[in-house]
Amino acid sequence: MTDFAARNRRNNKIALTALWCAALFVFGLLFIFLGYLLYQGLPVLTPAFITGASRDSKAGGGVGAQFFNTLYIIALSVAVSFPLAAGTAIYLSEYAKNNLLTKTVRICIESLASVPSIVLGLFGMIIFVNYFKLGFSIIGGALSLSLLNLPLLTRVTEEALRASPQTYREASLALGATKWQTIWKVTLPSSLPGVMTGLTLTCGRAAGESAILIFTAGTTVSRYMADFDLSASGETLAVHIWYVMSAGLAPDRAAIAGGSAALLIITVLLLNAVFYLLLKFIKRRAGLC
């Protein structure tokens, strides 16, 4: 019995060491990746480069319009996809029965998640750019990008709703609340951390997307930084990096791409921080922490 217990402790230490090594490897890989890109790009990130205020600034005059388009298209795509994803997730987790229709909907969602982004870009170009004659525009890019957001947001929101304890629902219904009141007042608030995680992942993925936007939002920008015109071309930071390195003729294109990549990384990190602080604020107001 003593040998059995000692062997279990030894195996536990081996497993724990292996898990620590895996975690440290992933952390180290991320640290090296981010550190190298920031090392290359941070010297380029001057105010003139970020805002695009000066055409005489280093590295091509700045990426202010691309920076704004990145945030603008993310916001528009989430505004389109999140209500649809949340409604689908609520239906699947709270109302739908386990039948053929529900299974078909889930298969469709998973199939949409597996479609390559460049295929979604071609679909967006055919439908939004050509059929609806939106041209290469911010609205066309946002609508196409929402197709990429839908499956991830739906699955994460559904899993977050299902993770909400059943006792919460039973207690709410026992107090006389309707099913919708229970969902709105009890289930959704308790599943908020999972929903916010889905939004964070979606925004981060959308910020780095380029294939869809190349075919729908275009590779040019308005001459104004904060151009809210939905019909304007909407080159983002990710598309700008691709264009500069593949088709750009600027002698300092490596510096332009490096600065754009560093700005994109910082943007994603700041978006994560904003969602985290927003979640903490909401939970504090709701008395959940």
Domain ranges, ordered by start, for the chain:
2-44, 66-285
Query: What average pLDDT does the segment 72-94 reach?
Result: 93
| C-alpha–C-alpha distance, residues 31 and 47, integer Å | 26
pLDDT at 2 over 50: yes
In eight-state DSSP terms, residue 175 is T
Whether domain 66-285 has CATH 1.10.3720.10: the reply is yes
pLDDT at 145 over 90: yes
| C-alpha–C-alpha distance, residues 166 and 182, integer Å | 11
268-280 tens-digit pLDDT: 999 999 988 888 8
| Residue 285: half-sphere exposure toward Cβ, Cα within 13 Å | 8
Lowest-confidence range among 23-32, 68-77, 139-148, 275-284? 275-284
Q: What pLDDT does 56 receive?
A: 41
Position 100, amino acid = L
For the entire predicted model, the pTM comes to 0.88
Q: What pLDDT does 70 receive?
A: 94
- In percent, the amount of the chain with pLDDT more than 90 equals 40
Q: What are residue 284's phi and psi, to 5 degrees? A: -70, -40
pLDDT at 284 over 60: yes
Q: What pLDDT does 147 receive?
A: 92
32-47 tens-digit pLDDT: 988 998 898 898 888 8
Buried b (16+ CB within 10 A) or exposed e, 209-223: bbbbbbbbbbbebbe
For the chain, what is the mean pLDDT? 87
Q: What are residue 132's phi and psi, to 5 degrees? A: -85, 0
224-251 tens-digit pLDDT: 778 888 998 889 999 999 988 887 666 7
